[in-house]
Structure 1
Amino acid sequence: MEKTLLELEPGMQGAIARFIGNPGFIRKLRTIGIREGKNLTVVTRHPLGGPVVIEVDGREVTLGRGMAVRVVVDVAA
């Protein structure tokens, strides 16, 4: 089942399926290690419009909500 990264609750895991955005946005994500097929875990989702913290390849990455809503993750049902 596909969901955006913003829809996942802390502790949920999934594999990055695709990105919604222009080539520059996609290149930026790939540069920081966020690529299609990578497994991730949501560490925390800060309240009041704050960022989402995920773990990819053993390191934590913080994404703003505007970016997180454009990352589509395949979550096991």
Structure 2
Amino acid sequence: MIIMEETLLDLEPGVRGTVARFAGTPGFVRKLRTIGIREGKTLVVVAKHPLGGPVVVEVDGREVTLGRGMARRVIVDVAT
């Protein structure tokens, strides 16, 4: 099994990834942690809306919507 590091924005719907780290300010990281997205959590991409729309992910059994700018700064490990 090979583990690849990608951004959350790179994942296609249905793909599962584990949060490895964040590329952002402490305030950005704090905001993500308050909505349940933190290092070590497993996320599943539910949908990527077209035309630059948001990315919907499932974390802990609930759906969270992130803008593409935010999703681009969430680095995840994906097993291939």
Is TM-score (shorter-chain normalized) higher than 0.5? yes
- Report 1:24-39 matches (<5 A): 24-39=27-42
Residue in 1 that maps onto 2:53:
50
* Percent of residue pairs identical: 78
Shift of 1:56: 0.2
Shift of 1:8: 0.2
Q: Secondary structure at the match of 1:9?
A: coil
- Report 1:1-77 matches (<5 A): 1-77=4-80
After TM superposition, the score normalised by the length of structure 2 is 0.95
Q: Deviations over 1:11-55 (max 9, x none)?
A: 000100000001000000001100000001000000000000000
Q: Secondary structure at the match of 2:46?
A: strand
Q: Secondary structure at the match of 2:79?
A: coil
Between the aligned partners of 1:39 and 1:5, the Cα distance in structure 2 is: 11
Between the aligned partners of 2:19 and 2:75, the Cα distance in structure 1 is: 6
After TM superposition, the score normalised by the length of structure 1 is 0.99
Q: Which runs of 5+ in 2 are unaligned?
A: none
Between the aligned partners of 2:17 and 2:71, the Cα distance in structure 1 is: 14
What do you get for the CA RMSD once the two structures are aligned? 0.3
